[in-house]
Each structure stands twice: as C-alpha cells, then as structure tokens.
Amino acid sequence: MKLLREYIRELLTERKSDSQYVDLIDTIISSMRSGSNFADVGPEFGVDGSGMVYKVYEMKEMPLPEEGTDLIDGFEELFVTIINPNKDPNSRYLKKRAEITPDNELQIFPTPPVFEKVQKSGNALSYFANDPQVISILEHELTHQINKTRSGDKKYRAAGGDDQFDISKQAYEDSTEEVQARLIPIISSTRKAIRDDKGHTGDKLRSAIENDDFRDFQKYLFDLNYEPLRLSKVSEKTKKRYVKRFYSLFQELKDETSP
C-alpha cells in the first residue's frame, strides 16, 4: 500500500509539472509569435560588427498562462539570439539547432537555406516561433532553461555528474532532465493533435482516448516519436518512465474529454 501511495503521488507530481511546463512554454512561444513582448535590442547586446549575430531579442516581461504557474521563480528574462550561419566561424548549425547559454540566452543556429528564408520573412522571431520543427527545439531548450533558473543556476540538476552532459554516455540518455525535455514537446504536440488535427494522427489519438485504450495510445506515441524519445538508446528503466508519463497524460486527456 505504501508503494502504491508513493507511485500515485509521483504520478500526480509529474502530471502537474508536465502540464505547467507545457502551458508556460506555449505562452512564451505565443508571445514570440506575436512579437509584442520582445524588443529587437540589436548592437546593444553583442552585435560586434562581424555579422555573426543577426538579431538579438529581449523579452520585456514573463508572460503568464491563464491558469498561472509556480515555475517562474528565477526565470525573469530571456534573450533570443539568431546566428548568421554564413558568418559563424564554428559552423555550429552543423551540430545543433539551438542551445541555452549560462546567461539565459537562447541561441538559434539556422542552416544557410533556412537563414535565407528568415531574412526574407521580415520578422525573424516570428518565423522561428511558427516553424513546427523549431518549435519542438524551443520547447526542449526552454524546458532546460526553466529547470536551470529554478535550481538557482546549479550545473548538476540530475544524477550522472559530467556524464549527463556527454551525448556519448548512457547517463545523458537517461538523465531525468533530458527525459523531461524530450517529453514536453511530445506532450504539447499530442495535445494539439487531439484538439486540432483532423487527419490520421488526431483520429488515432482521439480514438484511443474514446475507447479507453491506453495500450494503443502509448504504442502509437512510441511509434510516432521513436527518434525524439531515443528509444534505441535509452534504458528499459527510462522506457518505463516514458510509459508512466504517457499514462498520466492519457488520464488527463480522458478527464478533459469526458462529458
């Protein structure tokens, strides 16, 4: 009975946390999309004449979800820096799409073809906030940033020591924070698919919920997100953690759709 209570408590904690992360990050990205909450601060913040930094945007204030959140302690500022790939001596776009720096800066590394589209768009920030692939990256990186600021900028926020930051190590694959950063974009896209997608994906997910078929729901999410979940790399223990989190999401979606 004690183990069951602990299991239920853990599920409820993760469920609340995941939902709040999704709501907060959705609100931030919506704010980026509209552009009204971000200022183009240009040369004042690091544009040194080399042309490597294309744009720097500063968030004016932290936007809050309608339901509120308790995740924003210490998370008061956000800078978004867009790098010109043609002027980056390290060609970082070859290795990564985005990253969070220690000073609360979200750096985005577009490829040359994407950068050309960004320049033509007339609004670089809105371009990235409307690109589905980039949105997933933003959701992943913003999850890391929220965790970093909530921890008081601690380097080690999960077990694994330095190995948790080395993508060649198993500790990285199974890191608690990395697991959450993979899950948040998937939870967000799943909720949106159920709400808005009139095609196969939305129909499949809605059918599983309507028929109370968690097995089908979980299997479909695993199939759909095989690479983002890194299922060929993570341990069996981490796969079980994924199942638990998807079960929590499944129950939440059932509650929302029940009459």
| Residue at 19 is within a domain | no
User: What pLDDT shows up at residue 164?
Assistant: 55
Mean pLDDT in order along the chain per 10 residues (259 residues)? 43 60 86 86 61 88 71 71 92 88 84 94 89 84 78 54 63 85 91 87 92 95 94 94 93 82
Number of domains observed in the structure of the chain: 2
Name the β-bridge partners of 99. Answer: 107
User: What pLDDT shows up at residue 41?
Assistant: 85
User: What pLDDT shows up at residue 144?
Assistant: 82
Using DSSP's 3-state secondary structure scheme, residue 191 falls into helix
Q: Are residues 106 and 171 in the same domain?
A: no
As separate numbers, helices (DSSP H) first and strands (DSSP E) second, the chain gives 9, 5
Q: Are residues 105 and 186 in the same domain?
A: no
| Residue at 152 is within a domain | no
User: What pLDDT shows up at residue 46?
Assistant: 53
Domain that holds residue 253: 161-257
Phi-psi region of 53 (alpha: psi -120 to 50; beta: other; left: phi over 0): beta
User: What pLDDT shows up at residue 7?
Assistant: 40
| Residue at 241 is within a domain | yes
User: What pLDDT shows up at residue 69?
Assistant: 66
